[in-house]
Structure 1
């Protein structure tokens, strides 16, 4: 439906009101200087679209998209622990155990569909290469590269809930091992994208299923193949650094 046809069942005054609200929300979103302001603008935009009867077309896309959530997405948050005191040596050990599990899968010794909850918890402890750890490809990470801690992801979802977001289709463009997807409300369908192969594979193995897809790819490639107006929200953490390990 085009804007010319939007709000056809409304009075002229009501239609003008909602069209103005839609335009203001678009401007507010573009000029927002914080995630909270962007979320408020997105909420206002969605309300205006709903009032105007603007549906959302779903053209075919190259990326496999998460299916509509017709049943609750399976809970996976329990696999992700948060230990603020985990040291470099423990992270190195946890990463090694996760990569060893991936090698067993690659060797055909362990089928992905037979992963136990304990296996998934082991995979979910993989924390990337921050602190100059070495990955499966032999590359060393940045000293200041860290994945979003679980409490921050949970806090962002709580904030979105307070703003009126109750579910829908969400894009996680820099997904890591899947902390945003795992902590998302079960009413959310998640399309996760991750550049790093190890992290992206772990994300899919732990979280993949109805209502959740994990794609290992540069995000720019996925974005180029995805039309606009596909998602109700975008979940992503800010860049985090630590100067001491």
Structure 2
């Protein structure tokens, strides 16, 4: 995906901000604790915070959190649901915080949208020495047969290159963050995965998938056809055809340390 296409996908969520807040899952608390392990203090920036899914988990764990989000509609949802959390307009490429002002920077399902050539040094600037940068992604556990079937039916625009465990590991294994001059900003990346799940019905799972960038940027006719295929699949699967079920997931985490 080139820079313009990435920007088009990244900026698609505002139109679905209400649905995003209602239907997107939170993050496994164990994954967030792992991401923060070793941070030199409690000050945490949730970068690209969206509607506050990760922000809420950080707050519940007692972090001193500030959220930064570029989309006005997403930011309004965050401020409405978490009024006690400072929430600022900004982006990974232009963070409205002082130098060395946070001990950790976390990004929930957002780091792949960052322009790291610009964002990497900017994140390094706001991180205290020894601070942690971590990306978290909720991925579907396609080791479960019906989830693997859903991935096939949805296609790559719905179940993308970071949306299943093996694909996520491959996509992030070679992550290299930029340097400041001749010196690297960050150490070597570490990966970990933590069990997670979300209670869904067939209808609410379709509504969740409809908030994914690949669907949001589709022409309406293609979007409707894709969602119709997914509804038909879920109606034919014993695990999902009736009532509530748990969508098997993992929260996958990538962590690096500020040198």
> TM-score range with shorter-chain normalisation?
0.3 to 0.5
Considering fraction of residues, name the structure with more strand. 2
Larger Rg, first or second structure (1 or 2): 1
TM-score (norm 1): 0.34
TM-score (norm 2): 0.32
